[in-house]
Amino acid sequence: MDHIAEPVARLIDELNKLPGIGPKSAQRLAFYLLRTPREQAQALAEAIVEVKERIRLCSTCFHLTERDPCAICANPQRDRSLLCVVEEPLDVLAIERTREYRGLYHVLHGALSPIEGIGPEQLRLRELLARLRDGQVAEVILATNANLEGEATATYVARLLRPLGVRVTRLARGLPVGGDLEYADDLTLSRALEGRREF
C-alpha cells in the first residue's frame, strides 16, 4: 500500500479486520466511504461509537440491550418455565421473528470449538446453571446451530443439565445441517421449534 495515503491505508486495514471482509472488499468499502458525503461518513462513525457506548449485555440472559434487564427478560408476559439456549444474540432475533416462542433465552456467546480455543469456560455456562437453581425453568430448549460445534455444545450442555432434572429438548431437524440459525427462514424455524425433541 505504498501509493495510498496513510489514513486510507489505516481505514482499509481496520475494515479488513471485520468478519467476512477480505482485502479487496476492504478497499472497495474504503473508497466508497471516501466518495460519500461527509455527513454520511460522520453518521456511520457516530453509530459505531454510540453502539459501543450504549449497548451492553443483559445481566440475566446475556442478550444485547440498552437497558438491564433486557426487554425480553423484563416482560412479565414471557413464559418463565421455558428457556431457549442459543449461541449468539443474532439467534435470539431469528427465533423472535417466528413469533412462535414465548419463553426466555440464554445466550452462550459462542460454541465449543477446540480448534478456536473455545472451551466450556469461555461460554456463559456457569450463569446458565445459576439460572436453573430456583426450579422455575421446566424445559431447556437447546437451539445451537446444526453444525459440528453446535452439536458438540448441545451434547455438552445436555450432559451438564441432566442431574438437575430439567427437561432438555433440541430443535427438530428441518434446519439444514451445517446451517446457522440466523439464516433460517421463519417457517423452517417455527417448525423446528414445534418439533423439538428430548435430548
Q: Per-residue pLDDT tens for 50-91?
A: 999 999 999 999 999 999 999 999 999 999 999 999 999 999
pTM: 0.81
State which amino acid sits at residue 131: R
| Residue 13 reports pLDDT greater than 90 | yes
State which amino acid sits at residue 187: L
All domains of the chain in start order, with CATH: 6-54 (1.10.8.420), 74-198 (3.40.1360.10)
86-90, 170-174, 178-182: which has the highest mean pLDDT? 86-90
State which amino acid sits at residue 93: L
Give which of 89, 97, 91 is closest to 63, Cα–Cα: 89
pLDDT at 173: 67
Strands 79-86 and 139-142: parallel
